[in-house]
Amino acid sequence: MLPNALPRKADHVPVLAEEVRAGLAVQPGESVIDATFGAGGHATLLAADLSGRGKLTAIDRDPAARAYFEQLEKRFNVNARLLRGDFGVVLPQLAANGVRADAILLDLGVSSMQLDRPERGFSYAVDAPLDMRMDPTQEESARDLVNTWSERDLVTIFRRYGEERYAKQIARAIVRRRKEQEFERTGELVDTIKCAIPAPARFGEGHPAKRVFQALRIAVNGELDSLAVALPAALEILGPGGRLAVISFHSLEDRIVKHFLRDRERGCTCPPDFPVCVCGHEPELRAVQRRPIRPGDAELAANPRSSSARLRVAIKTEAG
């Protein structure tokens, strides 16, 4: 989709919408940051909760988000702004400039406005240019990674970001094929993956290219690195009592979020044999619940894409 094209109204169904709304509990007059605006599904609900008072800051690296943001501006009488960029860069900048907020949302992974447009090259289900850039203006695409990275580096990202069992076989097949002809399209990569893995694995659970495509997308967009930087910045931006909600879609993301929340929930860090606390460390966050919130049966039936979604919500303490 061109950046200035008008989006279709039904493009995006936000996952765990009511759970996010309840967790962030946005009140009129508050300041809210949607750090992954996308097609504006969650932001629309949060803007409604502001009731024309307060401030909404939207962040997205994809220029296609602009058209959705303009629709939101027309629909709601709310003080809103869109900042284009990677949330791993923008949130630290906001924190450094003293910006404060009452609620922050991070909805991780790929947006439906990217996944549903074949020309963006995110989907393994449709033959398209091999791209996967969330920001189409950045230089390196999935095509560049597949055609230039060493076999060892490809194995590493397939294992680390895709948890791909057949990483070595797939990387070897990619290198062998590109010596004859470089990869240009997603279909070429899918065919290579299918030929590289054992026949039973081609018909197992899920699409055989799913994990490799996930790994390439994460590597192209630096998603996990951005998340690791964004979380402490979000905590700094929140005031005491501020709420942080994070939706993840695979175990790698959720692990980073879980460990961050647990680290910031810790109180005293003194050795257990110390008779009294001397560190003075107090918890900076309080998780709303230990286990992540998952979609209910009704949402799963209406939106199968929500099946892997996990929501974690935490509240900033006075010590934070």
Averaged pLDDT for residues 158-176? 97
Name the band, by pLDDT with cuts 50, 70 and 90, for residue 11: very low
Name the band, by pLDDT with cuts 50, 70 and 90, for residue 297: very high
The answer to whether 141 and 220 have CB atoms below 8 angstroms apart is: yes
pTM of the model: 0.90
Q: What's the half-sphere exposure (Cβ side, CA atoms, 13 Å) at 2?
A: 3
Q: What's the half-sphere exposure (Cβ side, CA atoms, 13 Å) at 162?
A: 26
Residue 308 domain-assigned? yes
Residue 121 domain-assigned? no
Residue 123 domain-assigned? no
Residue 145 domain-assigned? yes
Residue 298's CB is within 10 A of a number of other CB atoms, namely: 8
Residue 185 domain-assigned? yes
Q: Give the pLDDT confidence score for residue 7 in this predicted structure.
A: 40
Q: Where among 167, 195, 221 does a domain terminate?
A: 221
Q: Where among 188, 221, 254 does a domain terminate?
A: 221
Averaged pLDDT for residues 101-130? 89
For the chain, the first-to-last Cα distance in angstroms comes to 41
User: Which residues, 6+ apart, have CB-to-CB distance to 157 below 8 Å?
Assistant: 145, 149, 215, 216, 218, 219
The answer to whether 213 and 124 have CB atoms below 8 angstroms apart is: yes
The encoded tokens of residue 139 equal 């230089």
Q: Among candidates 161, 160, 130, which has minimal Cα distance to 148?
A: 130
- CATH number of the domain encompassing residue 187: 1.10.150.170
Residue 309 in this model has a pLDDT that exceeds 50: yes
Q: Give the pLDDT confidence score for residue 236 in this predicted structure.
A: 97
Residue 176 domain-assigned? yes
Residue 3 domain-assigned? no
Name the band, by pLDDT with cuts 50, 70 and 90, for residue 272: confident
Domain that holds residue 37: 17-113+223-316
Pairwise CA distance, residues 264 & 242, whole Å: 14
Cα-to-chain-centroid distance, residue 191: 27
Reading across the β-sheet that carries 285-287, which strands appear in turn? Answer: 79-84, 55-60, 31-34, 101-107, 238-248, 310-316, 285-287
Pairwise CA distance, residues 145 & 216, whole Å: 8
Give me the chain's average pLDDT, please: 91
Residue 13 in this model has a pLDDT that exceeds 80: no
Share of the chain above pLDDT 90, in %: 79
- How many separate domains does the chain show? 2
Q: Residue 238 pairs with which residues in a beta bridge?
A: 101
Share of the chain above pLDDT 70, in %: 95
Q: Give the pLDDT confidence score for residue 208 in this predicted structure.
A: 94
- The 3-state DSSP class for residue 314 equals strand
Q: Is the domain of 206 the same as that of 58?
A: no
Pairwise CA distance, residues 27 & 16, whole Å: 19
Q: Is the domain of 161 the same as that of 281?
A: no
Q: Among candidates 153, 162, 113, which has minimal Cα distance to 134?
A: 113
Kindly report, residue by residue over 129-160, the tens digit of the pLDDT: 999 999 999 999 999 999 999 999 999 999 99
Q: Is the domain of 232 the same as that of 199?
A: no
Beta-sheet pairing, 285-287 with 310-316: antiparallel
Q: Give the pLDDT confidence score for residue 320 in this predicted structure.
A: 63
Beta-sheet pairing, 238-248 with 310-316: antiparallel
Kindly report, residue by residue over 73-90, the tens digit of the pLDDT: 999 988 999 999 999 999
- The 3-state DSSP class for residue 98 equals coil
